[in-house]
Amino acid sequence: MEKRTERLAGLLQTLEKGIGRKFNPATFTGRFRIQKAVFLLKAQGHEFSRSYRFSMYLKGPYSTTLSKDYYAISESTPEPRDVQVPDGMMGVVKEALHMGDPFLETVVTLLSIYETNSPGADRELVYRVARRLKPKLAHHYDSAWTFLEGKGLV
């Protein structure tokens, strides 16, 4: 039976090829980017990524199960399974990553707040909650919201 860690290893390979950046679970930056990339894929309906449950944490949405899986990959190096990411979904992740980690954190934080408070969440509600959780990212709110609107995620 195919293990989730094998599929995650395959997803990380696919992301590395499609985005041109390493997703190394041995580094803080790598783990941060894995968490945010998988969250963005899940928000777009990516089948495998939907297996992870996220909750708000220090740097935005965080999945404990995903964390356990990428640490397991670091320790055991499972055989990666083929996990496809449609071009449109890959493009959203790639664009958000290339805008920098603070922008990426803002995008996933606003999206998480929006999803948690839907239906009926509007930009003002999302910003109000975000200001309580992440005031230091306020200068990214408008560009992150515009990004999310442009991608049809809010």
pLDDT in tens, 106-151: 999 999 999 999 877 899 999 999 999 999 999 999 999 999 999 9
Two tokens, residue 121? 């969440």
The overall average pLDDT reported for the chain is: 94
Full domain range(s) for residue 98: 4-150
pTM over 0.85: yes
Cβ–Cβ under 8 Å, residues 40 and 103: no
Closest of 3, 49, 31 to residue 101, by C-alpha: 31
Quote the number of domains for the chain. 1
CA 57 to each of CA 52, 60, 69, 124: distance values in angstroms, whole numbers, following the listed order:
15, 5, 18, 21
Cβ–Cβ under 8 Å, residues 109 and 57: no
Predicted confidence (pLDDT) at residue 95 exceeds the cutoff of 70: yes
pLDDT for the residue 121: 87
pLDDT in tens, 27-46: 999 999 999 999 999 999 99
Identify the H or E element spanning 124: helix 123-133
The one-letter amino acid code at 127 reads Y
Closest of 95, 128, 131, 117 to residue 19, by C-alpha: 95
